[in-house]
A and B are shown apart, each in its own frame.
Chain A
Amino acid sequence: MGKEKDRGYDPVIVGLLCNWCTYAGADLAGTTRIKHPQNMRAIRIPCSGRVSPHFLFTSLFQGADGVFIGGCHPADCHYTSGNYYARRRFALMKSLLDFVGIEPDRLRLEWVSASEGDRFAEVVTEFTEGVKALERPHSLKRDGLES
């Protein structure tokens, strides 16, 4: 904890990025060398429709401060409709977070296409700042909800 105080609060964000759009967008941010905060650890998934609410809660219970889901723009989903399922689940997950007393802003869903490297850096920066602005580290793990 001491080291953390020295640096200021540095949140850990779990990224769940669809293979066809957002993961590729993140790759493009790299190829074009767009610097952005490095708090996110991206996990490649086939489609944003693959995201189960369990992924969100597993991340939070493990100690993540935020979860970022990236999918293809509406109508651009590689699998046609996966992002629509993601969108519906996202709405439910948001209200569930609120219900259990976790700031809903710890979860974000964004559409980033494979050609939007700059946008990827932008939304990740924004989300990282947003999670930081929640001021305190997320503490489900330390509060003992997860042994």
Chain B
Amino acid sequence: MRKIGVFVCHCGTNIADMVDVEKVVAASGRIPEVRYAVDYQFTCSAPGQDQIKDAIREHNLDGVVVAACSPRMHETTFRNAVGSAGMNPYLVEMANIREHDSWVASDRDEATRKAIDLVRMKVKKVAKLEPLEEIVLPVTRRALVIGGGVAGIQAALDIANTGVEVVLVEKTPSIGGHMAQYDKTFPTLDCASCILTPRMVEAAIHPKITIHTFSEVVESSGFVGAYEVKIRKKARSVDLVKCTGCADCLEKCPVKVPSEFEAGLAERGAIYRPFPQAVPNVPVIDREHCTYFLKDGKCGICQKVCPTDAIDFTVEDEIVTEKVGAIVVATGFHFYDAANYTEYGYGRYPDVISWLQFERLTNASGPTSGKLVRPSNGEAPQTIVFIHCVGSRDPSKGFPYCSRVCCMATAKHAVIARSKLPDAEIFSFYIDIRAAGKGYEEFVRRAIEQEDIEFIKGRPARVIEKNGKLVVRSEDAFSGRPIEVEADLVVLTNGAQAQDEAPELAQTLGIGYDQYGFFSELHPKLRPVETNKAGVFLAGMCQGPKDIPESVSQASAAAAKALEILSKDELSREPQVAEVNPFRCTGCMDCMEVCFYTAIEEDEFMRRKVAKVNPGVCQGCGACVAACMDGALEMKIFNDEQIYAEITGLFAIPKGARKAGGGESAHG
């Protein structure tokens, strides 16, 4: 039989005033498993803890119940105390006779009876506890950042600046993300490239950062502290080391395809670099369009003109494996395809353009060197119409959410347009103006009051071409009348959408995502950058629409959370985890279904399928234990038999207890 010690705390008068502590000690002493029972004024104090330690040594105890305050208050205190006396720290339980008893009861007898019951329940539970060891997990002190936009760059730099190695993976040929395409940023009208490109270079030359561009994560295994990630480095066909970035090859390429970076407003070759400030500043061959690949080795002009012999048509995709301890996901977003709004004629009328096209048309490094012109004829527009919420707040298109940044982006565009065309008429059709942010409302007021932008509340119904003009038909919600504007240029502010491949990446990493494809944070308020997968964190638009300052803040937060793991060689955690008894498991995998943390995987045992819990991933909620039909899942600290022991302990009144006058149970 176990030898359990019971230590009843007076908590000054907090407990002793309402609970007859002496009676609790006497009743405890009558429980068969109890070897020693005693009370003390303040059991949590140093002498109180010494009382426990001495008793453990003297009576050779192998279990302790402290009847005092809530375990949420002092469980750790008493675990440490018994640990220092050489007892396993997981053989302690606290009977909560303060918060759950003396502080809420109005009758001393009743409170005393309850305390006696609570102690007995805990004694029975402790009798079933097993000694446990903390789970210690080794940590690979490197981080992976997926996505090289402003959020990914920020996270990578924050982590690397602490001396921890970072692997940065970017899908496209250059880091920089959408921000590299923007002209200016709201509400300060900072030049986007001027603030972003130095950070790109900083990341590129950072001794602790390895960048894989034109690469994708294809596989991930392991758990917090020890992930193994496979990355496909797509064949670039241009040697990153040999290439000097002279760009001779770009001029000679005979192929012309629309440039993604210029949002289709300019062309690029089959060998191209996205933009002149690209990092790395090394071109890539787009094999889908390259004549060499399409026509069996004909062409090869770029190879001939390359002065450093950097071009190699024979390279193939390569899989690299990186071991990391934490992962920051910052894969960003893509703009809603405005062509889905057929009523606005995007893709049909050349002068109906998108957000990004507007950015490129006003950007000094864009195809028009920053001259804002109509794409159809190259002339300056006299009347410009902006339309908000194209692909946002529109349930009929499947995107009921607000993209959050477009109101401010449109105000920014309108102010930029005004600076370039002082005499133009500029209209902005909106549903609501959402300008919550530092200096944001002031910026919108500036657009309305100082820049003479006419904001009209209404969602346009149609844009039609008439006599070389674009007629925008809408309702003016304030006057309640229909309104028509004859425009030269219509700019659709298209909303933010989750990346198409986001669900696939979520499944690869084992993290959650919502109905729109945005990755799910662990808790909307208190754990905004963590995911259900320990060691995987989120930053930027991939988690939901947000602007640049928010993305950067979230990236720094994700970096801090990653460093919480990476700052140590080992992670230790409470052993409160589930465990499969493979002899009982029938391999139905119901447990895998209910596990939110994807901690359960299939395993083989005696040539049959069984479930297996990965203790590094398990968070100890016990959902799988309750779901297991075969009783094959067990759980540390809160196992079935331990909970049964508490329940039955409530009714297991020792013989003769009532005669002794303890009044030991509320039950008759």
Contacts and interface: CB of A to CB of B under 8 A. Distances in A.
B104 A63 contact: no
A49 B651 contact: no
B635 to A, nearest CB: 8
Interface in B504-537: 522, 524, 532
Interface string B584-626: 0000000000101000000000000000000000011111011
B260 interface: no
B666 A54 contact: no
Interface residues of B, number: 48
Contacts of A39: 666
A79 B522 CA distance: 9
Contact of B72 (A27, A54, A64): A27
Given A41-B114, A62-B651, A63-B651, A1 B100 contact: no
Contacts of A14: 647, 650
A10 B666 contact: yes
A38 B101 contact: yes
Contact of A30 (B98, B522, B650): B98
Given A14-B650, A26-B99, A39-B666, A58 B626 contact: no
Given A26-B99, A52-B640, A55-B647, A12 B665 contact: yes
Given A31-B103, A35-B105, A50-B638, A43 B643 contact: yes
B116 to A, nearest CB: 11
Contacts of A19: 72
Contacts of B100: 26-27, 30, 42
Contact of B99 (A30, A36, A80): A30
Contacts of B625: 50, 52
Contacts of B121: 41, 43
A51 interface: yes
B354 interface: no
B72 A46 contact: no
B70 interface: yes
A45 interface: yes
B96 interface: yes
B228 interface: no
Contacts of A55: 643-644, 647
Given A10-B666, A12-B665, A33-B104, A47 B623 contact: yes
Contacts of A109: none
B486 interface: no
B106 interface: yes
A45 to B, nearest CB: 6
A133 B248 CA distance: 90
A4 interface: yes
A36 B522 CA distance: 35
Contacts of A24: 72
A137 interface: yes
A46 B651 contact: no
A111 interface: no
Contacts of B651: 12, 62-64, 141
B623 A59 contact: no
Interface centre among B106, B635, B643, B665 (most CB of A within 10 A): B643
A46 B594 contact: no
Contacts of B619: 79
Interface string B264-288: 0000000000000000000000000
A82 B98 CA distance: 28
Nearest to A12: B667
Interface string A87-120: 0010000000000000000000000000000000
Contacts of B532: 80
Interface string B225-264: 0000000000000000000000000000000000000000
Interface string A122-147: 00000000000000010001000000
B666 A12 contact: yes
Contacts of B297: none
Contacts of A50: 621-623, 625-626, 635, 638
B105 A38 contact: yes
A81 B650 CA distance: 30
Contact of B626 (A29, A42, A49, A64): A49
Contacts of A42: 96, 100
Given A3-B668, A12-B665, A12-B667, A43 B647 contact: yes
Contacts of A4: 668
A41 B117 contact: yes
Given A1-B668, A45-B638, A30 B622 contact: no
A68 interface: no
A85 B99 contact: no
Contact of B114 (A35, A38, A79, A137): A38
B666 A62 contact: no
A35 B106 contact: yes
Given A41-B121, A50-B622, A31 B99 contact: yes
B72 A23 contact: yes
B110 interface: yes
Contacts of B648: 58, 62
Contact of A46 (B73, B620, B650): B620
A52 B100 CA distance: 23
B71 interface: yes
Contacts of A141: 651
B667 A52 contact: no
Pick the 4 closest A-B CB pairs, nearest first: A30-B99, A50-B622, A4-B668, A79-B621
28 contacts: A27-B70, A27-B73, A30-B98, A30-B100, A33-B104, A35-B104, A38-B111, A38-B666, A45-B622, A45-B643, A46-B576, A46-B621, A47-B623, A49-B594, A49-B622, A49-B626, A50-B635, A50-B638, A51-B626, A52-B625, A55-B647, A58-B644, A62-B648, A63-B667, A79-B619, A79-B623, A82-B621, A141-B651
Interface of B: 70-73, 96, 98-101, 103-107, 110-111, 114, 117-118, 121, 522, 524, 532, 576, 594, 596, 619-623, 625-627, 635, 638, 640, 643-644, 646-648, 650-651, 665-668
Given A27-B99, A50-B635, 17 more contacts: A12-B665, A14-B647, A26-B99, A27-B73, A36-B104, A38-B104, A46-B620, A49-B621, A50-B626, A52-B626, A52-B640, A54-B644, A64-B650, A75-B524, A80-B522, A81-B596, A85-B594
